[in-house]
Amino acid sequence: MALDVKLETKTSASNVKIGIITLSGDLDASTAPAFKAEVEKAANEGAKRLVLMLSGLNYMASAGLRVLIFSKQKMGTDADIYVVAPQEGVLDTLDKTGFIQGVILLEEDEPEKYEQ
């Protein structure tokens, strides 16, 4: 299955730029560049919070993990990354690799948590 990647940017009530990336499909070596491009776009637009909507992401290969690591670096140390509603297989991958320790996990979309 292909990957669908959509970026939406908004500004929070406290004037913080937020990049919301919605992923659906499979994130592998052939689709990771599209995800990386959206992360770069969010960072270039000054986003200080990156929200990854993962409820539609069915599979994530190591190439996807590399882009997640890249996103932590690209966004900077003062940026928050939210992982929203990952499917069980994706969550398991994030947990086993330890990546989950560096993000804020939300079991469902709770804009009040990242739009403050």
- Report pLDDT for 100: 92
- Tens digit of each residue's pLDDT, the chain (116 residues): 799 999 999 999 899 999 999 999 999 999 999 999 999 999 999 999 999 999 999 999 999 999 999 998 988 888 999 999 999 999 999 999 999 998 999 999 999 999 88
What is the structure's pLDDT at 84?
98
Environment class of residue 46 by beta-carbon count within 10 Å: exposed (0-12), middle (13-18) or buried (19+)? exposed
Output phi, psi for 85, to 5 deg.
55, 50
- What pLDDT is stored for residue 94 in this prediction? 94
User: Alpha-carbon distance 9 to 100, whole Å?
Assistant: 23
DSSP one-letter code for 86: -
- In angstroms, rounded to a whole number, what is the distance separating the alpha carbons of residues 63 and 28? 6
What per-residue confidence (pLDDT) applies to 76?
85
User: Residue 101: CB partners within 8 Å, gap ≥ 6?
Assistant: none
CA distance between the termini of the chain: 35
